Structure 1
Amino acid sequence: MTQDQATRYPIVLVPGFFGFVKLVVYPYWFGIVPALRRGGATVIPVMVSALNSSEIRGEQLLGRIEEILRETGAAKVNLIGHSQGAITIRYAAAKRPDLVASVTSVAGPNHGSELADYIESRFPIHTARGRLLNAALLVVGWAMHLLDTGYRGTRLPTDLDAAHLSLTTQGMASFNSQFPQGLPTTWGGQGAELVNGVRYYSWSGTLQPGRTNRGWNRLDGTNVTCRIFASTFTKERGQSDGMVGRFSSHLGTVIGDDYPLDHFDIVNQSLGRVGKGANPVGLFLEHAARLKAAGL
């Protein structure tokens, strides 16, 4: 076992919308946790409400961080969040920067998701088709809760409407007005890396014909889903991972925003079946080494 990823502070992984720790035996962070641990890192995947606002999820995360600090004796944690998990960790760091060493957004909709905007306009919650979609999503969420063997705490609250609003451009604009730490001052730019003692980083991917639709992704239905969802984008047409736009993902120091990874590939889903030449696990290993080098 090497110590290349042996960060000073524990790495806490926070999932996104419809997130989980482990469904029966299948982990959300497929292959990522054991790879980091082999490198000497202390890695803790956590659960927050699969469907709720980023603020509610953030409060839940703060409680879990305090538990982790008591259990490990560490003074701070390194937070890595995927998708809505990125917004969740931003909230926690803004509220308690003294407990957080770093925030890393992985495909986070830091300026909102055009997909969420599309769903809001086409499936309003007070219409029949909006209620039908919500009912279907709630059933999926209920089933996933029953299958999640990685979390055995009290039942976490669900608010699908609040979760969806949190991901829209309007919802994120409101969030960003309250919690601007690490945000770029210009569209497509980079933000401050160090704010209130917390270091901010981000990376994301884009759909790239000939790459993301090749390799094992030819057998991965989630890639097809992302390609369909990408058609809803207008501002960042051709520059999204299917759910989040390339420039919308920017936060702090942008490590990269055009990796050949769709929204699921970036956390090595599904079953590690990713596009041609993609190495999402390697990105996490490189980042842990980066955090270690920074004394984090």
Structure 2
Amino acid sequence: MKTKILLSCLVGSTLSLGTMTHASGLVQTKPTYVMSDYAKTKYPIVLGHGMMGFTRLGSASFGLDYWYQITPDLARNGATVFATQVSPFNSTEVRGEQLLQQVDEVIALTGKPKVNLIGHSHGGPTVQYVEIVAPQKVASATAIAGVMKGSPLADTVVSGNFFGTLVNFVVDFLSPTISTLEGNPSLPYDFKAGFRSISVAERTKFNALHPSAAIPKDCSSGQKITSDGIYHYSWTGDQKVTNVFDVVDSAFGVIAGGMLGSQPNDSLVPVCNSIYGQVIRNDYNWNHFDEVNQILGLKAWNAQDPVAVFRQHANRLKLEGL
């Protein structure tokens, strides 16, 4: 679900910033200068990528960050921000345990007892998993186009038809390639477990086993603060094709978005299925990749700036004392 991001590494480069990388794949963005404390939250911000995601492909001087231009901006505005690295394709439970290990590392590095978790796409359920098994370590959980109730596209892939077979073939090549390019070739991947985890059928079972007031039964907002004291937020786009010059993005939007029918979606995830806690907005002029400022910031000419939205959310967390 992130194949276009992989392709973009061939033409893109990141901003030159000091970074600190640890054995787990954790990357902290260290700014060369700080311009404000607008995004300076009480607890560190920890970002979790989606399916077929990564921290960085390539090097700091010539490579591509998944959270394109987002982590540098947060750091320049005072945030302590980390990008995590989990298996591009695997079950929510495997990815969740990998993320929890890196949360523990962030807590050890910063001395803070909690973190603010933000997950995109499959990163949403991955963040949710950490909240379930270690709520004492989570101050807030935010899902960006999170597949909190699953995506019908995943059910289609799991069904084993021609489309699913084609996706499997692509994944078998891309998963180890991505892990190698981001410097962690030992990351395990499981195509079937990954898609099964984000199918509507499996997410329905998961949410029944681990009910959360943050995930509503209908399409209204979920509960902002749950009984464990954790704050919850979500936002998403509702567009399929946003920039004709982003050819991979456009092709994916036409094919995948068309398979989701008339229900509002961002080309991969139905808007209704992405709700988690307080809805910041669910109609941004973005598709699934624009939400993390990919590919290289290409989006609709009148679209909101994803970088600014992340910065504003950090300030929202700050004002909540998080």
Same fold flag (TM > 0.5)? yes
What does 1:200-239 correspond to in 2, within 5 Å? 200-207=232-239, 213=242, 217-220=243-246, 221-234=248-261, 237-239=262-264
- 224-233 or 166-175, which deviates more: 224-233
1:285 aligns with 2:311: yes
Give the counterpart letter for 2:49 in structure 1: P
Q: CA deviation at 1:53?
A: 0.4
Q: CA deviation at 1:58?
A: 0.6
Q: Name the structure, 1 or 2, with higher relative contact order (CA <8 Å, separation 6+).
A: 1
* Partner in structure 1 of residue 117 of structure 2: 79
C-alpha distance in 2, partners of 1:118/1:258? 25
C-alpha distance in 1, partners of 2:274/2:163? 30
What is the CA deviation profile of residues 42-100 of structure 1, one whole-angstrom value per residue up to 9, with x for unaligned ones?
00000011110011111111111111101111110000000000100001011111000
1:8 aligns with 2:42: yes
C-alpha distance in 2, partners of 1:192/1:34? 31
1:112 aligns with 2:150: yes
* Partner in structure 1 of residue 282 of structure 2: 257
* Partner in structure 2 of residue 19 of structure 1: 53
* Partner in structure 2 of residue 198 of structure 1: 230
C-alpha distance in 1, partners of 2:214/2:84? 25
C-alpha distance in 2, partners of 1:16/1:52? 11
C-alpha distance in 2, partners of 1:61/1:286? 24
What does 1:64-103 correspond to in 2, within 5 Å? 64-103=102-141
Q: CA deviation at 1:142?
A: 1.4
1:39 aligns with 2:77: yes
- 181-190 or 219-228, which deviates more: 181-190
- For the Cα contact (< 8 Å) 1:90–1:179, is it kept in 2? no
Q: CA deviation at 1:185?
A: 3.5
- For the Cα contact (< 8 Å) 1:17–1:84, is it kept in 2? yes
- For the Cα contact (< 8 Å) 1:12–1:77, is it kept in 2? yes
C-alpha distance in 2, partners of 1:207/1:185? 23
Q: Assess, with a 3 A threshold, how the Cα gap between structure 1 residues 204 and 130 changes in structure 2: closer, same or farther.
A: closer
What is the CA deviation profile of residues 105-152 of structure 1, one whole-angstrom value per residue up to 9, with x for unaligned ones?
00011111021122233x34xxx8755541321111111112114xx4
* Partner in structure 2 of residue 243 of structure 1: 268
Paired-residue identity, %: 38
* Partner in structure 2 of residue 142 of structure 1: 176
Q: Assess, with a 3 A threshold, how the Cα gap between structure 1 residues 120 and 224 changes in structure 2: closer, same or farther.
A: same
Q: CA deviation at 1:180?
A: 2.4
Q: Assess, with a 3 A threshold, how the Cα gap between structure 1 residues 129 and 251 changes in structure 2: closer, same or farther.
A: closer
1:161 aligns with 2:201: no
* Partner in structure 1 of residue 86 of structure 2: 48
- 97-106 or 220-229, which deviates more: 220-229
| Alignment: residue pair count | 281
Q: CA deviation at 1:238?
A: 4.5
- For the Cα contact (< 8 Å) 1:206–1:257, is it kept in 2? yes
- Structure 1: state its 5+ residue gaps: none
What is the CA deviation profile of residues 247-294 of structure 1, one whole-angstrom value per residue up to 9, with x for unaligned ones?
111110011111110000000000001112221111101100000000
- Structure 2: state its 5+ residue gaps: 1-34
* Partner in structure 2 of residue 187 of structure 1: 218
Deviant stretches of 4+, over 4 Å: 128-132
